[in-house]
Amino acid sequence: MDNNSSTDPTIQRDPTPTAHDSNNKIHKQSRAFFILLFIGLLLVVTIILVVPHINVQSEESKSNPAQNEPEDNKSTAENTEDANDGLTSENSNFYDSIIGANEANGQIGDHVRGKADSKVVVIEYADFQCPGCATMMPYMTSIYEEYKDNVAFVFRNYPISSHINAKPAACAAEAAGLQGHFWEMTEALYAKRTDWIGLSGAELNQAFLNIFKSVAPSGDLQKFKSDYLSTRVNAKVTYDYSLGHDKARIPGTPSISVNGTLIDGDYETFDDLANGIRSEINKQLAK
């Protein structure tokens, strides 16, 4: 054996890649190609499936831009207008007269005491949480007692938004009214106003239930609770408010009108306001 064979150039490592190395490179290139092909196919499928759907939605939106707007988004004022269009065309003084049950007010008409068919109609817009309305209530009861044989007295709800318990109280009065106890509940809510104006949630609901039990010992408590939370009662309260806000355009609460004439003189005391109401009633009765 030649001791110098290790230096023979014929046995030096060949720098050219082996067949195994070439195969690895080909496999890597193949994997990259298939990955890119898969991604491309995925994009094509996505475009085919999604783009037509977007176009359809776009065309539908153009043809009917309000298609996704719930019907409940209609304003209460619009609903009131729609329901009363026919009625107002027959009676130009519709909003200053006694309003019966209709679709917009949840089939709950005006609450009337006194002479319902009188030529003189006194309408009070009031907020149950309003301290002035609470003070005015005994005056209105006194005026009612004086003129009940000749005048119709109507109460409409006008819960001011800053009085958070005013609307729930109005709903309680309306719920009691569905069992024939509206006026008793109204007077009791004002008389016990300081007991409930600071409550909320279950405590507030229970306070109204207790007041109802006090004015209607034989009343149906389950019906009261159901009606108190009903869409029907809510519709009535909201309807009353829209009449005062959009039609009568009352300046605040309490607001009292006699045959459409708002008693808005510069009265310094509630006694003066009550006398102003009496004066206008007498004037209207004398016609």
pLDDT in tens, 55-79: 433 333 333 322 222 233 334 444 4
Mean of pLDDT values over 75-93: 47
Mapping DSSP onto H, E and C, the string for 113-151 reads EECCCCCCEEEEEECCCCHHHHHHHHHHHHHHHHHCCCC
- Based on the number of CB atoms within 10 Å of its own CB, is 230 exposed (0-12), middle (13-18) or buried (19 or more)? middle
- Please tell me the pTM assigned to this model: 0.70
Phi, psi of 96 (to 5 degrees): -100, 5
Alpha carbons 97 and 53: distance in angstroms, whole number: 55
Question: Which of 164-173, 176-185, 205-214, 245-254 has the least mean pLDDT?
Answer: 245-254
User: 215 near 175, Cβ under 8 Å?
Assistant: no
